[in-house]
Every structure is written in C-alpha cells, then in structure tokens.
Chains A and B, each alone.
Chain A
Amino acid sequence: MIDESVLYLPVRQLAERIRTRRLSPVELAESYLARSERWNPRLNAYATLTRERAIEQARAAEKEIAAGNYRGPLHGIPYAAKDLLAAKGYPTTWGAPPYADQRFDYDAAVIERLHRAGAVLIGKAAMIELAGGLGYESGYASLTGPCRNPWNTKYWTCGSSSGSGAIVAAGLAAFALGSDTRGSIICPATHCGISGMRPSFGRVSRYGAMAIAWSMDKIGPMCRTADDCGLVLEAMAGHDARDHCSLPQPRAAFAYQSTQTHGRPLRIARLTNVFPHADRELHDAADRALRVLEQHGAQVSDAEIPQGPFEEAAELVILMEAASAFSDTIDSGRAARLADPLGRINGYASREFSAQDYLQVQRVRLLLQESIDRLFDRFDVIAAPGEGDTADELQPAKGQSDSDEGGPADSLQPDAISSLCGLPAVTVPCGFDKNGMPVGVQFMARALDDQAVLSAANLLQAHTDWHSRHPALT
C-alpha cells in the first residue's frame, strides 16, 4: 500500500510520478479507497464510494499510459465528486433523505470532462441536504449525518461541500469537486485548511448537477494547492450548450498558467471593511499572508468594498430561485422528510416572494455588479480573510428561527459579494486559530480573470508551507 505521505501530495506531483511510471494509477486508487473505507465511518465524508468504477478507470489509465498515451496531469488521478453531480451507475442523493434512492443514467458534464482527462472517480462526497437550498441550521443537515472536520472531529467542516472539504483535508482523494452558490466551496475549503476555488460564473457547465439558484450556481475544484485548482479547472472549463448559462467559447475555456504574477507584479487590494466582527486573529493571519506577497513583489494597498446590500441580494436571489427549483419538493410535502428543521419549512415562506420582488433584486444586482467591477480598475485581485470565523463545534439544530437572535452580523461578507456577482475566488490556508483549526485568506478578481486569483495564491504557496500541513487523523 502506498505511504500516506504520497497520498497527501499535490496533483501536480502525483501526475509526474504517474507520467514517468513511478506510480501506478491502480495502486493509487486502491490506496485512496482503502484509506477512505478506513476513515469514512469517523468522518462521514463520503456518501458513496464508487469502487468498481474507480478500479475500472484506473486500470484503463494504467494501460493507456503504459502504451504511451498519456492524456495530461489528471490522467490516473483519483478524485471525489459532490453528491449533487450525476454519476451513472451510482446513487446521487443530493444529500437529502427524500432523494436517498435517486439515480441518473448519465454523468454530469464535469464528470464527463474529467473522464476525458483520464481522472478516476473514487466516490461521491457527502454534502448538506439540497446544498442548503431550503436553508439549514447545523452540520447535521445531511442524509449521511454530520461531516466531521479532519483537524478535530468535534468540529464541523462548514457546508455545503462538506465531504469534499473533509476528503481533501484527510488525504482520502487527490482532489474533490464542490459546488458554490454562496460560499459552499470557499467556507469548507477554508475551515478544512485546503485550497478551494469558485470559478467565474458560466465557465464550468452545471449540466447534470442539482440546481439551487440558476443564476448563482457554480462548480469548482477543492485541492491541496491553488496550482492543482488551476489544473482541474482547465480540464473542466468550456462551453456546454446543455447549460443555459454556459459562456460561449472561447470565453468559457480556461488555459491555466502556473504563474505567480499577472504579466506584471500583482496589484492586490487588502479589504479593510469586510468581516468587521471577525476575531482579530483571522485578520492578522490574512495580513501576514499579504505581507508575504508584498515581500515577493506584489503591490498591496488598502481598499474598501463599496457599501451595498450584497448580503440581502445574494440571499434573496437564492431563496427565490430555490423556491422554484425545489417547488415539487415543497408542494409534495417531501420537504418534511429533510433532516433539518429549517429546511422542512423554509420553502413555504420562499414560495411567497412576488415576481416584482424577484425582478427588483435582479435589477439591483446589476448595479451592485457594476459597483464592485469598478474596484478592479485599480487592482488585479482583492483579498480578505477566507471566512469571518473558523470551524464551529458540531451541534444539532435547535429547531428555532434565528430572526430574533441578538448580536451583530457582518454586513459585508466577501463571499456574498463575489457569489452574487459571479466573480472568481480562491481560498488558501494561512494559519491556525487558537483551537488549532485552519484559517485562510481569499482572493477575488474581476469576472473571467480566474488566472489572477490563482497567480496570487500560487505566489503565497510558493513562499509558505501552510498548504502542505495536514491533520493527524485519530
């Protein structure tokens, strides 16, 4: 069996060993499967392991490579896909009890594309039910139970790509796919201490993926390094006529460059008005990361996100579109079988939105897009802490609406802004909090400038080693 240190290698290094036939794709898949079988009962990271398909794909990869037909850096690389992505022959539960037996007889577009790149699907990653589309209160809101954070199993991973975060952090696969409507890649990647990327809206096809909010859903990679995110994104990106929001070629395509600049030194904005209520240690960790970038050639200066109801607009768009996407789940009464008390009833409220309100929020959204876009006239990327908090201890839902909870809330959360406006973002680890849980820094860029966020993260990871640390599983 392959040593654990190899299982934690980035895709790029695994790929080089596979290309030069120093590492067998079959052995690699077997090792990740064995490790996943051992640790999944502890972590609840997988909904399903796709062992038969994995071994079949790994054998095919090994044979092709031996014959001199190497397809590229994902050839023979094992990965997990969030369980809202259709995979022929296996359940696709959307993480939700009402869909526990659901199956599709085709593959989602991203799984097709990764198959063409030679990647090996080893499992479907656990997730928050319906990716949180009908709301949820706790990490227990999943068909497979609470996903546990590999850094401390008393803590949650964040959601909704919970399993994808835990799988990568625990070395159960080389990378994973998540989806992000509003923070569902960025948050679990940050809380699990891995690198996670939300691509520009429309760059990656959602065909075969469960919809929450058509105008906001994105699929992206969750990896050990930002460089790996670039490799995976390049393989997944591209126009797909089956996704109505897919960008036309050549805008959808992404030719990743493993660089640390942007044709010139990166111009980075340090956002000073986000997460005002976050612990100081989160801001301090992000500031230290930015100082590393500055020491290595980036130009860092302070800036503010323009004020605006980004939070409200993002949440309303999601609630409104999810009420339509899940109308059958709501009307049929199947929502009552969801695990989370809020998810069981939230859809009834969301069905009350008017067409007038939907159009108003979408019109305001365009104005908000324009206001944030102007910031990128001066900067290549804008930076902020990965999240406004670190991982929470797992606690079951209380079954109470939080409308009357006291305490302040952050008015400007970067993931609401970038999600609402379809901007690319990447989060990478940059330290640990006082409880030993990961802390991250995130970079966002102008729509379609996915390369900029990766270049900034590459620069940081070239000069720090946070991304190479991993938890001691117990």
Chain B
Amino acid sequence: MKRISRRDFGQRAALTLAGGALGSAVMLGPDPAQAAAAVSPPAQAEIAGKLRHIFALYGDRLSDGQRKMLHGVVTDQVRMLERIRALQVHNSDPPASVLKLIDSGGARSRE
C-alpha cells in the first residue's frame, strides 16, 4: 500500500462524525467534539493493556526507541478503532467477507 499519514485522527474523526451522510443504516456515535479530543480514559486503558501484552510477548526484541514507537502506533490504532466502533450496526448487517464454496474444478496448487 502507499505510505499513509496517520496524522491527527482526532481531527478526521470530527469531520467524519460531523458529516453524518451515510444514511439511516448508520447511527452516528458520540459528540464530534468528544471524538476530536485527546484519547479517552477507556482508550488510554486499552492502549496500556495492549502495550503490556506486546511487551510481555516480544519485549526482549524491542529497544527503548521501538517501545516508544509502538506506543504511537498502538495509540493511532485505538483512535481508528474508536471511530469504527462508534458506528452502530444492526443484527442483520453482515461483514464484507463471506464464505465462498470451493470450486472443485480448480485444484489449488501448494508449490
């Protein structure tokens, strides 16, 4: 994929949530101002928990600089997740991934 800037997702979130043009199927989440604010306390706890788990599993591979980078990466990820979790989906809204039956006409090679 092309290089992506992960700058200022709070600002993006405000734009995203303020727009609200997705249609009736998508109920918008919290107040845009809240979304634009710094990471929420639950998100902070989630970030801390994820980092603890990463360091427990892979800490011996990581320098101090890499631990700091990971803090930024995980923070960005949780900010993005908050935007997605804020969108309400209904019971009948399926994921955009489905089981497809295997076509027996084409044997899949495992070279």
Contact = CB atoms under 8 A, between A and B. Distances in A.
A128 B4 CA distance: 13
Contact of B3 (A159, A316, A319, A364): A159
B15 A360 contact: no
Given A344-B66, A360-B89, A403-B6, A105 B111 contact: yes
A368 interface: yes
A333 interface: yes
A333 B66 CA distance: 14
Interface in A177-196: 180-184, 186-188
Interface string B38-62: 0000000000001001100110011
A402 B5 CA distance: 7
Contact of B2 (A159, A404, A406): A159
A406 B12 CA distance: 13
A371 interface: yes
A396 interface: no
Given A158-B2, A309-B16, A309-B83, A349 B77 contact: yes
A182 B4 contact: yes
A368 B21 CA distance: 10
A407 B5 CA distance: 11
A71 B103 CA distance: 29
Interface string B90-111: 0001111100101101101101
B1 A309 contact: no
Interface stretch (A31-39, A237-245, A284-292): A237-245
A415 B61 CA distance: 35
A433 interface: no
A235 interface: no
Contacts of A307: 15-16, 18-22
Interface in B57-91: 57-58, 61-62, 65-66, 68-77, 80-81, 83-85, 87, 89
Contact of A212 (B1, B69, B75): B1
Contacts of B100: 244-245
Interface in A351-391: 351-353, 357, 359-371, 374
A158 B2 CA distance: 7
B111 A104 contact: yes
A403 B54 contact: no
Nearest to A244: B100
A333 B61 contact: yes
A241 B2 contact: no
B8 interface: yes
A399 to B, nearest CB: 7
B26 interface: yes
Interface in A394-417: 399-409, 411, 415
B106 A241 contact: yes
A306 interface: yes
Contacts of B70: 345, 348-349, 401
B103 to A, nearest CB: 4
A315 B109 CA distance: 30
A309 B20 CA distance: 10
B74 A349 contact: yes
B34 interface: no
Nearest to A362: B95
B109 to A, nearest CB: 7
Contacts of A159: 2-3
Contact of B81 (A158, A316, A366): A316
Interface in A402-450: 402-409, 411, 415
Interface residue tally on B, bucketed by range: 35 or more
A136 interface: yes
Interface size class of A (residues with CB under 8 A): 35 or more
Contact of A215 (B26, B77, B97): B97
A137 interface: yes
A311 interface: yes
A353 B77 contact: yes
Contacts of B102: 244
A458 interface: no
Contacts of B77: 316, 319, 349-350, 352-353
A19 B61 CA distance: 58
A132 B93 contact: no
Given A348-B54, A360-B85, A411 B15 contact: yes
Given A359-B95, A402-B72, A408 B8 contact: yes
Nearest to B93: A363
A132 B3 contact: yes
B65 A132 contact: no
18 contacts: A105-B111, A132-B2, A135-B73, A137-B3, A180-B1, A181-B1, A188-B2, A241-B108, A306-B19, A311-B12, A341-B69, A357-B81, A374-B23, A399-B69, A401-B69, A403-B6, A403-B76, A406-B8
Interface of B: 1-9, 11-13, 15-16, 18-23, 25-26, 50, 53-54, 57-58, 61-62, 65-66, 68-77, 80-81, 83-85, 87, 89, 93-97, 100, 102-103, 105-106, 108-109, 111
Q: Which 6 A-B pairs have the closest CB atoms?
A: A307-B19, A241-B106, A401-B72, A403-B72, A362-B95, A183-B2
